[in-house]
Amino acid sequence: MKRECRSRTSTALTYVSALLLLVVTQAACSRATGDSTVETEAGPVRVRVMASGLEHPWGMAFLPDGRILVTERPGRLRIVSDGEVLPEPVAGLPEIAAHGQGGLLDVALHPDFAGNGLVYLSYAAQDVEGYGTNVVRGRLEGNVLRDTEVIFRAEPKSGGGRHFGSRLVFDGDGRLFITLGDRGERNRAQDIGDHAGSVVRLADDGSVPADNPFAGRAGARGEIFSLGNRNVQGAALHPETGELWAHEHGPQGGDELNVIRSGINYGWPVITYGVEYGIGIAIGEGTSKQGMAQPLHYWVPSIAPSGMAFYTADRFPAWRGNLFVGSLKFRQLVRLVLEGEQVVHEERMLDDVLGRIRDVRQGPDGLLYLLTDAPDGVLARVEPALP
C-alpha cells in the first residue's frame, strides 16, 4: 500500500510538474509573440511583436514601400512584409562565414536607394588567412541582389570568432562608416596599419576619401577614420550635428559611448574602464592617458550594448532627442537623456519583455523597432499605449 501511495504521489507530482512547465512555457511564448504593456518614466507603452521566426537577426533597413530588410546572422537576408517573414531569403549574397560572433551582420540602403536600388551588407568572410569583416553592395531587384561587388575587406584576416563589429551608417555627404572590432586581439586596435579595432570611412563605391586622417600615409590603412575601438556594435548620426555617435563593448565593464571624430584614438586597450574577465585586474595603463579620448558615458558593469538610434519623431514627444541603446546582457532597452554631449539621465525599460535586444531603429512611422538575438528572434515595435 505504501509503495502504491508513493507511486501515485510520484505520478501526481510528475503531472503537476509537467503542467507547471507547460504554463511557464506558454507564458514565455506569449511574452515573445504577443503584445505587452510596459510602464516607462514617460508613461505606458505597448510592445508589439511584428514578426517572429528569425534566426539570430542582427540588422534591419526600411524599404520605401514599407517592407523591412532583416539580416540573420547564419547568412540570410530576409524581407518582412505586413508582419510576415517571406519564406524565401534574398538570393545573390556572397559566401558568408557564420563563424563565432560573425556571419551576416548589418544592412544599409544607399542614400539614393530610390534611384539606384543599392543595398550594403557587412558580413564575416573567410580567406586563406582566416576571417574578417567585409562589406558588399548590390542592386535589389525583387528578391535578388544583383551586380554585387565587395567594396571593403578588413585586413589582415585572422583566426578566432570574436569582435567583427559591425554597423553601417551613411553620413549626410554620402560617406559610409563601417564599425569594426579588434577580433579579440586587443593590441591591433592601436595599429594604423591594421583595420581591426577601428571605424572606417569610405566613399559609397569603397574608395578612400582624400580627407580621411591617414589617407596617403605610408604604412597606414587609409580607410581608417578612428582607432582604439574594441568592438563597435551600435552607431547612429546625431540628428543636429550630423556626427557619428557609437558605442562599443568593453571587457568586464567599460562599455563606452563616444562621438567618433577624425583621427581620434579612443584608447583601447591602453585605457579602459573595464577589467580582465574573471579575475578583475586592470587592463593597460588605467582609465585615462593624454592623447586618448574619454567616453561621453560608460557602463560598469557592462550592459553589452548593441544597436542604437536617436529618437527624432513626434509619436513619443517626451523622448524627442533621446538616444536609445539595446542591452544584450540585461535584456533591456536603455534610454539616455542628453544635454549636448553629456548624458544627464538614464532609464532602463522593457526588462526581459523581449529578450536580448540586438538592434534599435526609428521607423519611418516614428515608432521604435527592435530585433532580438535568439534562435527564434523577433522584430518588435514600441508604440504609444492605447488610452
pLDDT in tens, 128-152: 999 999 999 999 999 999 999 999 9
Q: Is-contact 231 161, C-beta < 8 A?
A: no
- Report the percentage of the chain scoring pLDDT > 90: 90
pTM value is: 0.91
- Answer yes or no: are the C-beta atoms of 238 and 245 closer than 8 Å: yes
pLDDT on residue 328: 98
pLDDT for residue 26:
37
Q: Does residue 33 have a pLDDT over 80?
A: no
3-class DSSP state for residue 27?
Answer: helix
Mean model confidence pLDDT for the chain: 92
User: pLDDT at residue 10 above 60?
Assistant: no
Number of domains forming the structure of the chain: 1
- Predicted confidence (pLDDT) per residue in 358-373, tens digit: 999 999 999 999 999 9
CA 353 – CA 260 distance, rounded (Å): 32
Query: Which triple of cell numbers denotes residue 87?
Result: 519564406
**Beta carbons of 288 and 340 less than 8 angstroms apart:** no
**Rounded mean pLDDT, 115-124:** 98
80: domain CATH number is: 2.120.10.30
Can you give the pLDDT at residue 1? 39
Residue 339 contacts residue 322 (beta carbons within 8 Å)? no
With a pLDDT cut of 70, the percent of the chain lying above it is 91
H or E segment to which residue 23 belongs: helix 2-33
15 compared with 222, residue with greater pLDDT: 222
pLDDT attached to residue 386: 77
Give the pLDDT score at 2: 38
Q: What is the pLDDT of residue 34?
A: 72
Q: Assign 3-state DSSP to the chain and report helix, strand, coil percentages, each to 5.
A: 10, 45, 45
Confidence class of residue 4 from pLDDT cuts 50, 70 and 90? very low
C-alpha cell at 384: 504609444
Dist. CA 71–CA 177, nearest whole Å: 18
Q: Does 140 fall in a domain?
A: yes
Asked whether 339 and 358 are in contact (CB, 8 A), the reply is no
pLDDT in tens, 265-293: 999 999 999 999 999 999 999 999 999 99
Q: Which of 215, 189, 190 is nearest to 201 (CA)?
A: 215
Domain that holds residue 106: 36-384
Which active-site residues does the annotation give? 163
List the grid coordinates of 347: 532609464
Confidence of residue 15 (pLDDT cuts 50, 70, 90): very low
pLDDT digits (tens, 9 = 90+) for 149-176: 999 999 999 999 999 999 999 999 999 9
Asked whether residue 18 is assigned to any structural domain, the reply reads no
Q: What is the pLDDT of residues 314-352, one digit of tens each?
A: 999 999 999 999 999 999 999 999 999 999 999 999 999
Is 116 within a domain?
Answer: yes
Residue 190 inside a domain? The answer is yes
4 domain residue, yes or no: no
* Amino acid, single-letter form, for residue 90: V
3 occurs within a structural domain: no
- pLDDT exceeds 60 at position 11: no
Task: Read off the pLDDT of each residue in 197-225 and give the average, rounded to a whole number.
Answer: 98
Asked if residue 342 belongs to a domain, the reply is: yes
User: Is residue 284 in some structural domain?
Assistant: yes
DSSP 69-125: EEEETTTEEEEEETTEE-SSPPB--------TT-SEEEEEE-TTHHHH-EEEEEEEE
